[in-house]
């Protein structure tokens, strides 16, 4: 199983906000430090804002901030919010069941569903506060990060 890039961006955006939770941060700053496309970050920010995870302010000193304390944001809820589906095997999709002769008798889907359940059971215990508990180390890593030359021209072209 692999989470989509959109989920990764959403969680990293929340992490970035939680590291300096008392500061309003611009989307451009997140784009630069996350090496993500601006449109992807904006899309994630809109989804997180609509679902009550972040606040946004407009204007010259505008930006985004957490709407909840990091210990109130459970990582599984973010994954469930952003991920489009959790089909671990092709046969899980309704349209594809007819292509499998053993679908009704197959136990693989049950094993995969149990594995997915264990995955979420663990993520249900992890909060944003847990994954940013090393704030000083994360701040240092962000301060030391350098934007690769190939990405800087891409970010500049995106209007940042």
Which among 19, 119, 16, 18 has a CA at the least distance from the CA of 67? 18
Give dist(CA 40, CA 43) in Å, integer: 5
Mean pLDDT in consecutive groups of 10 residues from the start of the chain, 160 residues? 91 94 90 86 96 93 94 98 87 69 85 94 98 93 66 42
C-alpha 52: how far from its chain's center?
A: 15
Residue 92 domain boundaries: 5-157
State the pTM of this model: 0.82
CATH number at residue 137: 1.10.10.10
φ and ψ of 25, to 5 deg:
-120, 140
- Using an 8 Å Cβ cutoff, are 84 and 90 in contact? no
Count of the separate structural domains present in the chain: 1
């Amino acid at each position: 199983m692999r989470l989509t890039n959109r989920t990764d961006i959403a969680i990293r955006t929340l992490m970035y906000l939680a590291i300096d939770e008392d500061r309003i941060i611009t989307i451009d700053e997140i784009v630069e430090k996350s090496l993500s496309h601006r449109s992807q970050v904006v899309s994630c920010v809109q989804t997180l804002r609509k679902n009550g995870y972040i606040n946004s302010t407009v204007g010259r000193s505008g930006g985004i901030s957490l709407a909840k304390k990091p210990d109130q944001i459970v990582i599984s809820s973010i994954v469930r919010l952003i991920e489009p589906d959790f089909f671990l095997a092709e046969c899980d999709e309704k349209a594809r069941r007819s292509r499998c002769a053993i679908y009704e008798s197959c136990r693989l889907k049950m094993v995969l569903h149990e594995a997915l359940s264990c995955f979420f059971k663990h993520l249900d215990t992890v909060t944003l506060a847990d994954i940013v508990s090393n704030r000083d180390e994360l701040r240092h890593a962000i301060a030391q990060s350098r934007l690769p030359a190939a990405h800087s021209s891409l970010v500049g072209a995106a209007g940042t």
